[in-house]
Amino acid sequence: MMDRAEALRGERTPYVLATVVRAERPTSAKTGDRALVLPDGTMEGFVGGHCAESAVRDQALALLESGESTLLRITPAADSAPLDGLVTVHNPCLSGGTLDVFLEAVIPPARVDVYGDGPVARALAGVGRPAGFDVRPAGAGDPPSPDAAAVVVATHGRDEEALLKAALDAGIPYVGLVASRRRGTAVTSALAGGDRVRTPAGLDIGARTAPEIALSVLAEILSLRPRPAGPVERAPAGETEGCCH
């Protein structure tokens, strides 16, 4: 299971690792049983029968949207006292028993493709990687990665228009140009969709050095990313006559 999880991380595929941390009989799942839930709803592994599987899948898909983790209790008890950090799902299956399943969302770090080899480009890698970004240097002829969260062009006048156009055409969520305000405006004004380019790239924090500029760019990428909703308690698993945990 963990080898499969490692392979998914290598492929930059998000997933939820579900681990049974408590099983109150009668349940078919035992403490320590695990399963992986993929974005398409596929489950690999075992955390119980149909009812438990449905509840785990439902909540795991919500967590993939929020990027958070939670403890899920699947119980036949009609009235369970709410607890912080615990999502409780009423399970009407006839087998009875209660399962506590820890759901850990594993989301790949945001990928940032950086064009250029100057001080700011190097600083983006030096600052970004310890901060949890997947910063990848890119050559002038390399297309943006389809799963990139951001493209930053820091080539200081070389191939800027072509690189920005490729990023815009690819629909990259954040496209930034490291340049002075005057030159950035001149470059982007001739581009279709140039108003989507953030230039000068980065939040205005008074940055002067290359690491400070890199920090301002990464902060802007964070500030503009979509705000996921928190995990929601989905509807309980549907009644299935005779199903089991």
Average pLDDT over residues 142-168: 94
Residue 63 has pLDDT above 80, yes or no: yes
Summarised one tens digit per residue, pLDDT across range 73-101 is 998 875 555 666 788 888 766 566 789 99
pLDDT tens column, 200-210? 999 999 999 99
pLDDT at 242: 38
Percentage of the chain lying above the pLDDT 70 cut: 87
Show Cβ contacts of residue 69 under 8 Å, excluding neighbours closer than 6 positions.
63, 102, 103, 104, 105
More confident residue, 50 or 152: 152
State the pLDDT at residue 9: 87
Which is it for strands 86-90 and 70-75: parallel, antiparallel or unpaired? parallel
Confidence band, pLDDT 50/70/90 cuts, at residue 241: very low
Residue 220 CA to residue 240 CA, distance in Å, equals 48
Does this model's pTM top 0.75?
A: no
For residue 229, pLDDT over 80 is answered with: no
| Overall average pLDDT of the 136-159 stretch | 93
Element (H, E) at 15: strand 15-24
pLDDT band at 115 (very low <50, low <70, confident <90, very high): very high
pLDDT for position 95: 63
> What's the mean pLDDT when you consider all of the chain?
87
Residues 6+ apart with CB under 8 A from 236: 55, 89, 90, 91, 92
What tokens were used for 25? 């009989």
- Which domains occur in the chain, in start order? 2-106 (no CATH), 111-224 (3.40.50.720)
For residues 9-27, average pLDDT = 89
**Cα–Cα distance between 123 and 121 in angstroms, integer?**
5
Query: Would you say residue 122 has pLDDT above 90?
Result: yes
> pLDDT per residue over 175-185, tens digit each?
999 999 999 99
Q: Is the pLDDT of residue 234 over 50?
A: no
Q: State the CB neighbour count (10 A cutoff) for residue 209.
A: 11
What is the Cα gyration radius of the chain? 23
- Residue 123 predicted with pLDDT over 50: yes
